[in-house]
A and B are shown apart, each in its own frame.
Chain A
Amino acid sequence: MSQETLSIISSMDSYSFKQPETFTHFAESRSWEPGWLADYRKECWDSFASLPERLLKDETWRFSPRARFGLNKINGLADPKESLIIEENSSKDGVSIDLFDRLILDQPHCLSLLPKIAGPDLGANDYSLLTGAFAETGYLLRANRSVHSGQPIIVKHIEPEAGKIAFHHSLIELEANTEVTLVEKFIANETNPGGTISSLLKVRLGDGARLHRIVLQQCSKSATLVQLENFIIGKDGYLSSTNLHLGCGQTRVESKGVLNGPGSHFEYGSAHSGDSNQLFDQRTIQVHEAPNCTSNLLCKNVLRNEAKSIFSGLIKVRKEAQHTDAYQTNRNLLLSSEAKADSLPGLEILANEVKCSHGATTSRIDPQELFYLQSRGMSLKDAEKLIALGFLSGPLNSVSHEPTREWILNSLADSLES
């Protein structure tokens, strides 16, 4: 019997999102949950089951080797208790953070916003719907008083063991004039690497609220990460999301920033350092719905060996959003002849009183720069590392909390060293 038929047979016996029983068993095991949540899970599952067959030419997956995000390699759910951890002493006056599964028992009403906010809807709807249906954990971060917390709150997403998938469904709700700094770490599984994390985050900022979010992803090189985020920013709100991706075999990030109230600002920075055959597939959209908003996006990739990056970004300015000021920049540094960068920056502008622009560049390191550093006694390898470090630190410099900035820059420097 050929290898292929063997694998088909084995996949039929095991866990599969193609079988309706997978969900019915899961739903039975969670029959104690409130009715609205059960309904929401069912709704998500039904939508997932009725998704059309994957189109051969799907614009939202253009250039992406989609098979690498296939669900067929998954053979079970990760233990929710081990896959998401909130660092202790994180909660402070007015700011509360708790786990999804604890809140379902004690205060299920806190989570009632979850079904009301959609996912980013930029292509990976299968993961988004499965997360809605199967998530047993996630965090809920709320700030309900005018607090300005200086110390960051830290959440850890742990890579499950090979073959398992962890669904994290999280919510951040900041009331007016609050300010919170959140650090999310994606941590590798040392003993049995190769799991999948599907993280769906929904954020709503009230008037004048400020959220600083920092993501550091250091999963193993065989892990898969699907990170889906929808940020809704209210009047005069400010949201910055800074991302450093170092690990994972394949990463799909979908970020949607909706400038919902006038005067709001969305700042997005991401840095990817790729090696071996890592894939970074990033899709972003900046939606300007209200007038007088600003947004700024900077995505930088350094790619070595056969690493590949896809950046697809869109600035969408609705008719009402006059006086928009929006930018989008993608810069790629290719350090080998097999490294590959795809860039799809886009603009859709319906208002006329706007300033919008995007830029995309892809290049090698300027040989003159290398020569200069070498002439100062540096080896070629070190010179390349130094330039890569300087290049990637650009998006990370916007972190305003200084210890956090230093920590993330050090993490980057360490990863380039190894």
Chain B
Amino acid sequence: MINPSQVAVDRDKGNFHYDTDYSFDAGVGLSEEVVRYISEVKNEEPWVLDFRLKALDTFLKKPMPTHWATDDLKNINFDVIRYYLAKGQKPSRTWEEVPDDIKKTFERLGIPEQERKFLAGVEAQFDSEAAYSRMKEDLEKEGVIFVGSTEGLKEYPEIFRKWFGKVIPTSDNKFSALNSAVFSGGSFIYIPPGVKLAQPLQAYFRINAENFGQFERTLIIADEGSEVMYMEGCTAPKFETSTLHSAVVELVALKGAKIQYITVQNWSNNVFNLVTKRALAEEEAEVRWIDCNIGSRLTMKYPGVILRGRKARGEVISIALANDGQHQDTGAKMVHAADETTSNVVSKSISIGKGRSSYRGLVQMPGHLKGCKNNTECDALLINNNSQTDTYPAITVQGDDNSVQHEASVSKVSAEQIFYMQQRGLSEAEAMSLCVNGFVNDLIREFPMEYSVELKRLIELEMEGSVG
């Protein structure tokens, strides 16, 4: 049974939370009143409320997907979860109050000074003005819209309403329905035609962002020929009070557009992280999901791309690390719906201690298409005797002009490798850590520079105490 009042227990090093006062609170449990309350607080248009209510109905009707997913889902108690919380704007504590071990974790991960205070909850919002004001100005000049979900639907309905809930319909799965009913926070982004952003957009330089909302809703529309890179999350341990996170992320890449969506998440051990992410790629568009999942009790996340236009390209690159008591159930979906579309999936997972990592994949190519290609590689590394890994791909191919290749392997760090490094003077743990970093190295290079450095350190941190 999950109960938010018990979240203070069962914490790993570096995971922490504070009691926070909320200016708006929808109470516990889910009902029509809660949904109406959320909509009212946000002062939404009637069509948004209708959308939410319909979604609630769908959520209540849909069964848990335990015919294929883990039974652990049954442990979610929807009646004790708070579905809407809005933080007050005043900082509620000082840097001095932040525990030493957390400061140490920030230090070791090399989190920039400016971001530390925000991550520790010392500042209610990231002090973005100073660091990014120049960039914001530039963005506005280019015509880029970068707002929260509430603002996006209210102020720019002509842009966002068309695609909102279209890539991932409410009824896609139980958790997308839940998100559609109670969503708050997240980012709505529109990139005008031909605009190529040199700098990545980050969730936390938007002012007043409810960045780490439980039920984030993100919609990114890249108009013809534009390019954008979006980053969310961070390698620092998340201070989370809630046990259920269910985000919906929709990407729309119109003709010739390129979207890269980078996620790095490090949840605390009691969190169910059930996310639906999908992109729509029009003609010659390219969508890349780059995903790193660390922590959480159960993560279920299968970023997908619907390749709808000719020569569209989809890619999923993912790293998952499962430690004691964690189940990383991640994967990718590639739905080919036009000629000459290509997709690539590279997934690497590491299971440490009693951790379990799973890969679930889906590739579909109907017979009327020509020249579609998919390549999938899944590699799993098992560190300890109790670690577990599974691979469940599903590949459907029809027609005589499409090709698919899938390969998966499971291995462990060989005794020879460890021995070699030990005789060069490394300790066993250092040797193991080096091997693991080598295993994911080619994927880590896909992340932006500062993330890749942090990621390497984080993996070292996670590996500590797992060997010897």
What is the interface of chain A, defined by CB distance below 8 A to chain B? Answer: 55, 57-59, 62-63, 319, 332, 334-365
Contact = CB atoms under 8 A, between A and B. Distances in A.
A338 B401 contact: no
B249 interface: no
Interface in B386-409: 386-409
A339 B400 contact: yes
Q: Which of A319, A341, A349, A350 has the most CB of B within 10 A?
A: A349
B382 A338 contact: no
B385 interface: yes
Interface of B: 67-68, 367-368, 380, 382-412
Nearest to B412: A352
Contacts of A319: 385-386
Nearest to A352: B382
B387 A352 contact: yes
A383 to B, nearest CB: 14
B407 A338 contact: no
B411 A355 contact: yes
A361 B391 contact: no
A51 B202 CA distance: 53
A332 B390 contact: no
Contacts of B390: 346-349
Nearest to A347: B391
Contacts of A339: 367, 398-400
Contact of A332 (B384, B385, B392, B397): B397
B395 A334 contact: no
Given A339-B400, A347-B410, A354-B410, A360 B68 contact: no
Nearest to B364: A342
Given A337-B401, A340-B397, A352-B382, A360 B406 contact: yes
B253 to A, nearest CB: 26
Nearest to A328: B408
28 contacts: A57-B68, A59-B68, A62-B394, A319-B385, A337-B367, A339-B399, A340-B396, A343-B393, A343-B394, A343-B395, A345-B406, A345-B408, A346-B390, A347-B389, A347-B410, A348-B390, A349-B382, A349-B389, A349-B390, A349-B410, A355-B411, A357-B408, A359-B405, A360-B406, A361-B406, A362-B397, A362-B402, A363-B405
A347 B389 CA distance: 8
Nearest to A341: B397
Nearest to B360: A346
Nearest to B413: A352
B410 A356 contact: yes
Contact of A335 (B368, B400, B412): B400
A348 B412 CA distance: 15
Contacts of B410: 347, 349, 354-357
B164 to A, nearest CB: 28
Contact of B395 (A344, A354, A365): A344
A376 to B, nearest CB: 22
Given A344-B393, A352-B384, A356-B409, 18 more contacts: A57-B67, A334-B397, A337-B399, A337-B400, A339-B399, A341-B397, A343-B396, A343-B404, A344-B395, A345-B393, A345-B406, A348-B389, A349-B388, A349-B410, A358-B391, A359-B405, A362-B402, A364-B399
B402 A364 contact: yes
A363 B384 contact: no
A343 B391 contact: no
A343 B390 CA distance: 16
A338 B369 CA distance: 11
Nearest to B390: A348
B398 A354 contact: no
A342 B361 CA distance: 13
Q: With a 10 A CB-CB cut-off, give which of B68, B380, B398, B407 has the most chain A CB atoms.
A: B398
Contacts of A341: 395-398
Contacts of B388: 348-350
Contacts of A338: 367, 398-399
Contacts of A358: 391, 406-408
Nearest to B385: A352
A22 B391 CA distance: 43
Contacts of A345: 391, 393, 406, 408
B382 to A, nearest CB: 4
Contacts of A59: 67-68
A365 B403 CA distance: 10
A332 B397 CA distance: 9
A354 B412 contact: yes
B367 A340 contact: yes
A63 B396 contact: yes
A123 to B, nearest CB: 13
Nearest to A314: B392
A283 to B, nearest CB: 13
Contacts of A357: 407-410
